[in-house]
Amino acid sequence: MIAQLTGRIDALAEGTCIVDVNGVGYLVHASTRTLAALPRPPALAKILIETQVREDAITLYGFADSAERDWFRLLTTVQGVGAKVGLAILSTLAPGELVSAIAAGDRAMVTRAPGVGAKLAVRILTELREKAGAMPLGAGFVPVPALPAGPAEEALSALLNLGYRRPEAMPAVARVVERLGDAASLDQVIRDSLKELAR
């Protein structure tokens, strides 16, 4: 099994790249996140690889970091999530955003990925709820504490209804609630959260 490739990036295309290792060009399928992290051809790069062997093909899937590779492995354990859908999810949501979506049971966030309908999103959220907490969050991700019940949850709901995405709204509300304390009114939490988001 191929676990890693180090070579020259020969070409980048939508969903794939070619890595030249000592004159042999390997076609590697990857998420848009990984492809964006790779250097432009003909620079050298190291890519982590997940090899899938079938009767009719040997397919290589590449990842810029181990967090994304681990999530790919976990996602493809869910019935209905093949390699293509797994990469589509990882192209749409970073590992940290996946953890947040699963923890919050945010079906709408998961269905943003191409190929993921409502039923599949529910299956992903249900089957991975217990496993997501132990998964890597990816580089630069700061976990968000769970919001206390009451005004914080209502403020988050109001911000989502205004069009803000959960990954940006949730940390803003958490910071405001931490600063103002539990006695803060709903109006105050919403107003201060909007100020946080405007920065």
| Residue where the block lists tokens 């003909």 | 42
Could you tell me if 126 and 161 lie in one domain? no
Could you tell me if 47 and 73 lie in one domain? no
Q: What's residue 175's pLDDT?
A: 81
The Cα 152–Cα 174 span in angstroms is: 8
Query: End-to-end distance of the chain based on CA atoms, in angstroms?
Result: 48
Look at residue 137 and tell me if it is in a domain.
no
Q: What's residue 176's pLDDT?
A: 85
Q: What is the CATH number of the domain that holds 161?
A: 1.10.8
Look at residue 88 and tell me if it is in a domain.
yes
Q: What is the CATH number of the domain that holds 59?
A: 2.40.50.140
Instruction: Give the number of domains in the chain.
Output: 3
Amino acid letter, 48: L
Look at residue 141 and tell me if it is in a domain.
no
Q: Is the pLDDT of residue 132 over 70?
A: yes
Could you tell me if 31 and 14 lie in one domain? yes
Structural domain of 97: 66-132
Q: How many CB atoms lie within 10 A of CB 66?
A: 12
Look at residue 146 and tell me if it is in a domain.
no
Q: What is the pTM of this model?
A: 0.68
Q: How many CB atoms lie within 10 A of CB 138?
A: 20
Question: How does residue 151 score in pLDDT terms, banded at 50, 70 and 90?
Answer: confident
Q: What's residue 50's pLDDT?
A: 95
Q: Is the pLDDT of residue 139 over 50?
A: no
Percent of the chain with pLDDT over 70: 89
> pLDDT, tens digit, for every residue of 43-92?
899 999 999 998 999 999 999 988 899 999 999 999 999 999 999 999 99
Q: How many CB atoms lie within 10 A of CB 40?
A: 8
Q: What's residue 169's pLDDT?
A: 79
Q: Is the pLDDT of residue 140 over 50?
A: no
Residue 2 vs residue 153, higher pLDDT: 2
In sequence order, the β-bridge partners of residue 24 are 21
Query: By C-alpha distance, which of 19, 43, 16 is closest to 30?
Result: 16
Q: Cα–Cα–Cα angle for 179, 182, 187, nearest 5°?
A: 80
